């Protein structure tokens, strides 16, 4: 019985004792590569993360509290309290990203002059940081604000690429939702989209359709529809999806 008890105590001590990499006699007290394991209360690891650089990572209370540096190729440090709060800071300690119950809320700095925040990826804003100052080039003058699926807006230095759209009342969005241009008026009464040089008009959507430009054809869905893009495809449907013919 005493032998079994001693073995159990020894096993428990090995499980809870910190695990440190072996060191040569005379080496520094704090090794460059080590692990301290008091799982699940605290675990700390230090190991090479890049040439001539050591990485430090620790977790506490299982995976809940954590810190990791570097966390990416840019050398940023990540820390937080999963899943409630995660932050990313650069090597200077400046904020790069903040996440609250991701994807509920996120705030990121896409570069030194631009920020982006989103609420559940449905309400999103991208704009210049106040401390960035006025835009130096036309490319720098850029901002977006969306409340999906009702409001879409973009501000650029070129009025041709700027827009404001209120769904389903009226508006036009550009280079969004997979289209080069998408317009509507009292949706679904009138919709027009442009993609790869072809313009398709619906009145109302999706029943009556007419194509012009790089593709042509017309249809009364689901009874009949034909779309032809010369040299690419010729597609016809009858009583969709029952009868379908697609040639290339």
User: What is the secondary structure of 138-181 as a DSSP string?
Assistant: GGG-EEEEEETTTEEEEEESSGGG-EEEETTTEEEEEEETTEEE
- The per-residue pLDDT for 238 is 97
Residue 211, H or E segment: strand 208-213
pLDDT digits (tens, 9 = 90+) for 180-226: 999 999 999 999 999 999 999 999 999 999 999 999 999 999 999 99
Paired strand residues for 109? 115
Q: Indicate the number of domains in the chain.
A: 2
Separation of alpha carbons 191 and 94, rounded Å: 46
Residue 135 lies in a domain: no
Paired strand residues for 199? 194, 212
Residue 3 lies in a domain: yes
Q: Which of 62, 82, 100 is the last residue of a domain?
A: 100
Residue 152 lies in a domain: no
Altogether, the residues listed in the chain come to a count of: 248
Separation of alpha carbons 51 and 67, rounded Å: 21
pLDDT digits (tens, 9 = 90+) for 64-122: 999 998 888 778 899 999 999 999 998 888 889 999 999 899 999 988 789 999 999 99
End-to-end CA distance of the chain: 82
Long-range contacts at 171-180 (CB < 8 A, ≥ 24 apart): 176/152
Residue 112 lies in a domain: no
Q: Which of 50, 78, 100 is the last residue of a domain?
A: 100
Residue 110 lies in a domain: no
Residue 158 lies in a domain: no
Q: Which of 100, 121, 147 is the last residue of a domain?
A: 100
**Domain of residue 240, residue span:** 177-248
Residue 205 lies in a domain: yes
- 2 and 95 together in one domain: yes
- pLDDT category of residue 32 using cuts at 50, 70 and 90: low
Residue 24 lies in a domain: no
Q: How many CA atoms lie within 13 A of 170 on its CB side?
A: 1
């Amino acid at each position: 019985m005493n032998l079994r008890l001693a073995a159990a105590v020894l096993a428990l001590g090995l499980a809870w004792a910190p695990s440190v990499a072996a060191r040569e006699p005379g080496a520094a007290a704090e090794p460059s590569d080590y692990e301290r394991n008091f799982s699940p209360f605290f675990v700390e690891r230090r190991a090479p993360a890049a040439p001539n650089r050591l990485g430090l990572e620790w977790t506490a209370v299982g995976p809940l509290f954590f810190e990791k540096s570097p966390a990416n190729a840019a050398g940023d440090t990540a820390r937080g309290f999963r899943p409630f709060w995660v932050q990313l800071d650069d090597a200077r300690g400046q904020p790069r990203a903040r996440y609250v119950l991701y994807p509920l809320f996120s705030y990121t700095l896409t570069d030194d002059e631009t920020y982006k925040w989103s609420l559940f990826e449905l309400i999103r804003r991208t704009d210049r940081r106040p401390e960035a100052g006025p835009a130096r080039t036309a490319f720098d003058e850029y901002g977006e604000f969306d409340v999906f699926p009702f409001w879409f807006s973009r501000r650029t230095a070129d009025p041709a690429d700027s827009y404001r759209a209120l769904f389903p009342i009226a508006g036009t969005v550009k280079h969004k939702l997979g289209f080069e241009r998408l317009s509507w008026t009292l949706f679904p009464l009138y919709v027009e989209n442009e993609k790869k040089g072809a313009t398709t008009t619906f009145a109302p959507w999706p029943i009556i359709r007419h194509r012009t430009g790089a593709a042509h054809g017309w249809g009364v869905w689901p009874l009949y529809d034909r779309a032809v893009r010369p040299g690419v495809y010729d597609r016809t449907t009858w009583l969709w999806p029952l009868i379908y013919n697609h040639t290339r």
